[in-house]
Structure 1
Amino acid sequence: MKIPVSKNHKPVIISDNYGKVDGRFANNTDAKALSLGLTPWNDEGKPHISANLWKYTEEKWTGQSEEIPIHRILDLSILICSAMTHFSEAYRYEHLYDPQNPVIDRIGLQGNAMTVAVCTDNDEINEDIKLFNEALSGDGEMIGERLRTLSRILKDMGY
């Protein structure tokens, strides 16, 4: 199923097989995909990055607001970290990814693997991935501070 692109969220990095690793709901869920994408321009005239949990119900995609189970928040965090790892080396590719192999990671979870890939269904992906990279770089200090804090807390917890 093709994840929709809208004016409110243009997917750039996706996990389009998320239904296979959705915690206790794996293989029996309406949550089918996760995405990181661009949202409309902020007050500074630049797009920003947002995450979306895509549900597929009654033969249509929805991106409605809802309470999110903790494992899905962690899965979104895994998706973010995987995307950041990709973009730290993406300069090696002309379009910041390999169009012949858009899969950037496969992360084992619950006996399956969450696929992380560039969203080639986005007709404007070559432009959007550059904007995404710029937004990620622009928020680097803010994101880095939170990742360092999260890393410290995880270490304190024994992880």
Structure 2
Amino acid sequence: MQIPTQLKHKPVIAAEDYSRIDGRAAYETDAQGLSLGLAQWNDRGQVDISAKVWRHTGEKWSRQSEELPLHRVLDLAILTCRSLLYFREEAYRHPKGYDEEHPVIDRVGLQGDAMTVAVCTENDHIDQDIRLFQDALGRDGELLGERLRVLSALLKDMGY
């Protein structure tokens, strides 16, 4: 299915076959494509690049399609990788999967400041939810590992 090109987000690079590889939802997802393009919020003289997940209901393109600035896509990748590392190397040390007294996992330096990565202790069900989260990571280990290996190889090819 071809993603729309007449809307405010202007695709430049597209993966129109995303529904076939959308994790455990592959072949049963409404996420039909991914694109990198010119952001819908661009003003005259200022052009930003955004990433977009294109959702289709089966009848029309959905308003639930999501558009993110590229730096946020990368910030989500950083948050994901740091979280995976935490659950692989640190969480098992704590009976509840996290240190109740010190829920901050890391501070990742970005733009002269830092992104604080922490267990969300404001969640009333964090003790149960963190276990469910860990279980889901275990189930999705192969899917995530495959994507991380691809990402790692691409970053190495780029000199990072």
Structure 1's consecutive aligned runs of 4 or more residues displaced over 4 angstroms after TM superposition are: none
Q: Structure 1, residues 124-158: CA drift from partner, whole Å, max 9, x if none? A: 00000000000011100110000000000110111
Percent identical across equivalent pairs?
63
Cα distance in structure 2, aligned partners of 1:138 and 1:74: 24
Shift of 1:66: 3.5
Q: Tell me what 1:142 maps to.
A: 143
The match for 1:71 is 71
The residue correspondences of 1:3-18 to structure 2 (distance < 5 A) are: none
Give, as a single letter, the amino acid of the residue that structure 2 aligns with 1:86: Y
| SS in structure 2 at match of 1:67 | strand
Aligned alpha-carbon RMSD (Å): 1.6
Q: What secondary structure sits across from 2:98 in the alignment?
A: coil
Distance 1:123 1:67 in 2: 30
Alignment of 1:75-154 (within 5 A): 75-88=75-88, 89-154=90-155
Q: Unaligned stretches of 5+ in structure 2? A: 1-23, 26-63
Larger Rg: 2
Q: Normalising by structure 2, report the TM-score.
A: 0.59
Q: 1:16-65 CA distances to partner (integer Å, 9 max, x unpaired)?
A: xxxxxxxxxxxxxxxxxxxxxxxxxx99xxxxxxxxxxxxxxxxxxxx75
What SS class does the counterpart of residue 154 from structure 1 fall into? helix
Q: What's the secondary structure of 1:119's corresponding residue? A: coil
Give the TM-score taking structure 1 as reference length: 0.59
Unaligned runs of 5+ in 1: 1-41, 44-63
Q: Deviations over 1:109-138 (max 9, x none)?
A: 000000000001100000000000000111
